[in-house]
């Protein structure tokens, strides 16, 4: 359960300042698939970054499973990101010279997990995205769609409760976008809470709920057909 309460985010650029979020409140239930959409600059990615603790709030609170993550710092933030959240970004952020296996295993290594069990966890994650056959290949040898699927495998290898996807189809063609959306839907069907930022209305409608933002505020919150 995620409870966002009156969150504001203020940025300063030189002598000027502006609010990217202007008092956003939102409830996201366990196991929901929510798309956050809106024009560029609407605040959607900023909001996702707050949920993922990639940025800090100026004021307000964000409760995840009863804990105010807006007040976390240091080691506790690292634990939250590694154990509860899986990130998927538009730009993949894979280590190009690493093998697919090494890229997907990275969250396990960062959490101190090594050994044979990692091999099964990595293999299971890659099988779920249809890329087990690519396990020994280097990331830079994969297509864009394959790299994004590896990024999703990396995001789920630690079995997090929450998948945060920021424009996961932004760099992909239609066929690969449809494949990524299918995988996100399957994660949702397995009980994961999926929160996806997208500017694409067709992708947004594939979620079960669409939250639309404009100028740092939520302007609509509807169930998709």
**% of the chain beyond a pLDDT of 70:** 100
The residues near 165 (Cβ < 8 Å, ≥ 6 apart) are 87, 88, 89, 184, 194, 195, 196, 197
Residue 6 CB contacts under 8 Å (≥ 6 apart), including other chains: 23, 24, 25, 59, 60, 61
| pTM of the predicted model as reported, rounded to 2 decimal places | 0.93
Parallel, antiparallel, or unpaired: how do β-strands 209-214 and 33-37 relate?
A: parallel
Maximum C-alpha span of the chain: 54
pLDDT of residue 74: 84
Cα gap 206→86, rounded to integer Å: 20
pLDDT at 58: 95
Per-block average pLDDT, block size 10, for the chain (225 residues)? 96 90 96 96 95 94 94 88 91 94 94 87 95 96 95 94 95 92 94 96 94 97 84
How far is the first Cα of the chain from the last one, in angstroms, to the nearest whole number? 23
DSSP lists the bridge partners of residue 101 as none
88's CB contacts (< 8 A; 6+ apart) are 148, 151, 152, 155, 163, 164, 165, 166, 168
Gyration radius (Cα) of the chain, Å? 17
Task: Write out pLDDT tens, residues 195-204.
Answer: 999 999 999 9
Query: Residue 173 in 3-state DSSP?
Result: coil
pLDDT of residue 225: 62
Structure tokens at 15: 């002598």
172 with 110: CB under 8 angstroms?
Answer: no
Distance CA 99, CA 143 (A): 14
The confidence score (pLDDT) of residue 197 equals: 97
Burial class (CB in 10 A: 0-12, 13-18, 19+), 205: middle
Ordered domains of the chain (ranges, CATH): 2-223 (3.40.50.300)
pLDDT of residue 110: 85
Can you give the pLDDT at residue 13?
84
Q: pLDDT, tens digit, for every residue of 161-195?
A: 999 999 999 989 999 999 999 999 999 999 999 99
């Amino acid at each position: 359960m995620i409870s966002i309460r009156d969150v504001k985010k203020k940025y300063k650029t030189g002598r000027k300042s502006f609010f990217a979020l202007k008092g956003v409140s939102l409830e996201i239930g366990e196991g929901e698939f929510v798309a956050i959409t809106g024009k560029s600059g609407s605040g959607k990615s900023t909001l996702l970054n707050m949920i993922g603790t990639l940025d800090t709030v100026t004021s307000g609170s964000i409760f995840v499973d009863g804990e105010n993550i807006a007040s976390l710092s240091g080691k506790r933030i690292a634990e939250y990101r590694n154990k509860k959240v899986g990130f998927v970004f538009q730009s993949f952020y894979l280590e190009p010279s690493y093998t697919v296996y090494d890229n997907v295993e990275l969250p396990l290594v960062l959490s101190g997990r090594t050994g044979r069990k990692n091999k099964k966890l990595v293999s299971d994650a890659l099988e779920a995205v249809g890329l087990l056959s690519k396990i020994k290949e280097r990331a830079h040898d994969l297509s864009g769609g394959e790299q994004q699927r590896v990024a999703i495998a990396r995001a789920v290898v630690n079995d997090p409760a929450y998948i945060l996807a920021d424009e996961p189809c932004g760099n992909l063609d239609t066929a690969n976008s449809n494949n990524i959306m299918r995988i996100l839907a399957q994660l949702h069907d397995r009980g994961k809470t999926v929160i996806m930022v997208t500017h694409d209305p067709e992708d947004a409608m594939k979620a079960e709920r669409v939250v639309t933002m404009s100028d740092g505020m939520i302007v609509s919150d509807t169930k998709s057909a």
